[in-house]
Structures are given as structure tokens and as C-alpha cells.
Structure 1
Amino acid sequence: MKDNHIQQFVIDYLKTHVTKSDVVVDATVGNGHDTLLLASLAKHVIGFDIQAIAIERTLQKIKNSSIENVTLFNDSFENISKIEAYKGVVFNLGYLPNGDKSITTQALVTLDTLKSITQQMQNDDFILITAYPGHPEGTLEADLILKYVQTLPRSFLSLIYQIQNRKNAPFIILIEKQND
């Protein structure tokens, strides 16, 4: 059996929580896989990535499909707060697969962005994060996020989905805004 539980959790969660009336954000478009999944589920997807190659790869995937409900920005996810309304944000942290591994998401930037997003969240909004602690910045990033979600008020629900017997395996952090 292949170790795809983390990826399948993300897919299953998105399929049950994103509807055709939702605007969602793909904070790190990477190679476009999450962007395409979100586009099949949502009214509109807004995607961010700091690497032009990630935007190009995602645009190519969009062109090869019949998807028209995606807007991409070659920009940092720090600017998510400029978007007025969305139901959820998906982060796939770390570095671009098959890309330059020296370019990673930055722990403090990610933390500041999460703080900003959680302040804007409405009831039933979500943040779905895949963290990758297998490299130094990823370890720091995961640790900071885990500490932060423990400080969220009771109006939030935070869950961790993690493989326990794989050292430094990717894991999921889910944050949902609950009814006040």
C-alpha cells in the first residue's frame, strides 16, 4: 500500500468542504495539482506562488484542461489578506517539487500570514496546511505553526493529521472557524 494518506486526506477534505459557490485560495500553486482540484470544486480559485516557473507550470495545466475559473499571481502568499472574501486557503509548504530546493516558504512569513488570515476568517472558513518538516526551514515552520494554533481561541478548531511512525513525514494542520 502506497503512503498517500496525507494527500488523500487533503483531497477528501476539499471535496467535502468546497462547493461551486466558494472562492478559495491556493497559497502555493507549485505544480498546479491543488489548483486544478480546487478549480473543479469551487466557483473561483485565486493562486499565489513566488516562483515564475510554478505559475508557468500551473498555467500550462490550466490550458490543457477546460478550466477558466483560476486567477494566478506571481507573488507571495503574504498578499492573501488583500483578497476580500474567500472560504478557504490551502498551503502546501516547503519547496517546489522538481524545483530549486533552496527556495522555500519562510517560517516567519508563513506565521505572519496565518495570523492575518485567522483574524479575517468567518464562520465555516478553513485553512488547510501541508507542512514538510524534512528540511531545516520546514522544521522551524512546522514548529511555529503548531505553537500558534495552540493559542487560537475556542471559536477555532485545529486538527493535526500526522503519520506517527515516519520521521519528518509531511503532515496536515487544519484550522476551521466555528460558529461563535
Structure 2
Amino acid sequence: MKDDHIKQFVQNYLKTHVQKTDTIIDATVGNGHDTIYIASLAKQVIGFDIQSKALAVTQEKLMDLGIHNVSLIHDSFEKISTLTSYRGVVFNLGYLPNGDKSITTTAIVTLSTVQTILSQMKVDDFILMTVYPGHDAGKQESEALNVYIKTLDSTFISVIYQIQNRQDAPYVILIEKIKLPKSN
């Protein structure tokens, strides 16, 4: 069984929340699938990846498809903190599919980056993370994120979309900045 439920959840969320005026960050370009999908919805996509192989594969796909609203950055997603104007950030954590499995996102860097993004978020901004707890680094990342999102204050809403009867299956964490209702 493929993880179509997870992919569909992510795509449906993006389709219903990203507008043609938005700039969206693809924090982990990977093989470019999310980048290309987001580019079909948004005004601009800024994609990060630390692996030149991932960027080259994605750049070739973008050129083949005639997609011009994507900027690719060969750097860690930690550098998102240098950007100031975007609506959402999409992470596909873990390692590059069919790549070097020793190069992976880590709990410390991911958590630090998420904290920075949260401090910059405006109402209706979002973070959408697909988490892969099926390998050691992914398990640590998953546990750290799950603990952290429970500590968020009421200006955020966090949701986990997870298959319950499949151990270590990928899952999604969604965090949105919300407008609190006025108290009387």
C-alpha cells in the first residue's frame, strides 16, 4: 500500500488554502514533486535543499514542464529565517528518496527552524510537515515535533493526520496561525 492518504491530505490542504497571490516555501525540494504541485497553485515557490542532486533533478523537471515561478536555493531550510514574505512552508522530512539515506533532516534543526517560522507567522499562515518516523533520525524528529506542538499557545492550531493502525507510517503535522475571537 502506498501512502496515498497522506499525499492526498497534503495536496487537498494546499489546493484549498494556497492562492495565486501566495509565495510558498518548499523547505525540502527532494525530487520536486511537491515543488511542481505548489507551483501550479501559487504565485511563487522558493525551494530549499542541501543536496545538489535534488536541485538538479527538480530544475530539469521544471524546465521540461515550462514552470518559471520557482526559485531554488542550495542551502539548508534553516535559511528560511532570512525570508520575510511568504504564506506557508511545506516540509517533507527525512531523506531524499532513492538518495543517500545518511543525509537526513534532524530533530534539532527542524525544531529550531519551526520555532523561528512560528515566531514570524501572521494570521492564516501555515506550516505543513510530512514526518517519517520509520528510521532513527525520523523517529527522533517525530517525537520532538509531537512534544513541541502540544506546547503551542492558543494563537496556533495544530493538527496531526495519521494512520493509526500502521506502526511508523508517515504522517502530517499541520500548524496554522489563527485569529482569536474577541472576548466580551
Q: Give the TM bin, normalised by the shorter chain.
A: over 0.9
Cα distance, 1:138 vs. partner? 0.2
Counterpart of 1:154?
154
How far apart, in 2, do the equivalents of 1:127 and 1:2 lie?
24
Structure 2 residue matching 1:157: 3-state secondary structure: strand
Over aligned residues, Cα RMSD in angstroms? 0.9
Per-residue CA distance 1:50-88 (angstroms, 9 max, x = gap): 000000011011011121100000100000010111000
TM-score, normalised on structure 2? 0.96
How far apart, in 1, do the equivalents of 2:148 and 2:106 lie?
15
Cα distance, 1:103 vs. partner? 0.5
Per-residue CA distance 1:122-148 (angstroms, 9 max, x = gap): 000000000000000000001101111
Which residue type is aligned with residue 57 of structure 1? Answer: V
Gaps of 5+ in 1: none
1:9 aligns with 2:3: no
Write out the 4+ residue segments of structure 1 that deviate beyond 6 Å after TM superposition.
Answer: none
1:48 aligns with 2:48: yes
1:108 aligns with 2:81: no
Counterpart of 1:90?
90
Counterpart of 1:166?
166
Cα distance, 1:2 vs. partner? 5.1
Structure 2 residue matching 1:55: 3-state secondary structure: helix
Counterpart of 1:73?
73
Fraction of identical pairs, as percent: 61
Cα distance, 1:161 vs. partner? 0.2
Counterpart of 1:136?
136
1:20 aligns with 2:11: no
Structure 2 residue matching 1:42: 3-state secondary structure: coil
Which residue type is aligned with residue 135 of structure 1? Answer: H
Structure 2 residue matching 1:13: 3-state secondary structure: helix
CA contact (8 A) 2:3 2:170 kept: no
Count of aligned positions: 180
Gaps of 5+ in 2: none
How far apart, in 2, do the equivalents of 1:2 and 1:24 lie?
26
Cα distance, 1:3 vs. partner? 4.0
Cα distance, 1:106 vs. partner? 1.1
CA contact (8 A) 2:21 2:43 kept: yes
